[in-house]
Amino acid sequence: MKKAFFMSLLSFIPLINCTIANQVDNKDFRVIYFDKNIQKSIKINEPNHFLELINNLVLGIDDLYKLIVTNETIQEIKNSNSGIEIFFSKEISVNLEIGKTLKFKKILVPFANKSDNTEKASSVVLYCGGKEYFTPPYVNSKGSLISEEIKAICIDIIK
């Protein structure tokens, strides 16, 4: 019984050591805000808090979205939605709760449409990649509140 408890505690160590904030300096990433064909580089005022939100969004990944991601897919998302694209200066490695290790250098987070009152409205689709975006994209089925907070931070900076 004690051994099982100790082993379960040890399983959290990789998650603690592999957070995005532990791997990235405040200057090791840049953020592009996009809104229907308009793109703007923004400087995040509180990078530690911002990275914590991104980390929570990534660690909450609990599913895969059945979609083949192409350059056209990404361009269509940027042309018809608002969201952010984050570029890291080095590869980020995060252990996901779904049993995978996700490695990426960039992440695209489209913001949810508030007029969508379906179950999907609470989900956030994350597009991660290296040189190109990976197939399939990832889903955080409970990430909408985090995404809304990220969006609010970005909009405050743009104003």
At 70-85, the pLDDT tens digits run 999 999 999 999 999 9
Q: How high is the mean pLDDT of the chain?
A: 84
The pLDDT of residue 57 is above 50: yes
Cα 48 to its chain centre, rounded Å, is: 15
State the pLDDT confidence band at 25, using cuts at 50, 70 and 90: confident
- 141 closest CA partner among 56, 54, 32, 63: 63
- Where is 130: in which H helix or E strand? none
Predicted confidence (pLDDT) at residue 132 exceeds the cutoff of 80: yes
Per the listing, tokens 């609010």 go with 152
| CB-CB contact of 82 with 35 (8 Å) | yes
pTM of the full structure: 0.82
30-45 burial, b at 16+ Cβ within 10 Å, e below that, comes to ebbbbeeeeeeebebe
Using 50, 70 and 90 to split pLDDT, how confident is the model at 114? low
Residue ranges of the domains in the chain? 2-158
Average pLDDT over residues 38-53: 94
Q: What is the domain class of 2-158 according to CATH?
A: mainly beta
The burial of 133, by beta-carbon neighbours within 10 Å (0-12 exposed, 13-18 middle, 19 or more buried), is given as: buried
pLDDT at 6: 39
- Top-confidence residue, 84 or 65: 84
CA dist 159 and 154 (Å) reads 9
Average pLDDT over residues 132-146: 94
Segment 26-45, tens digit of pLDDT: 678 999 999 988 999 999 99
Residue 18: per-residue pLDDT: 57
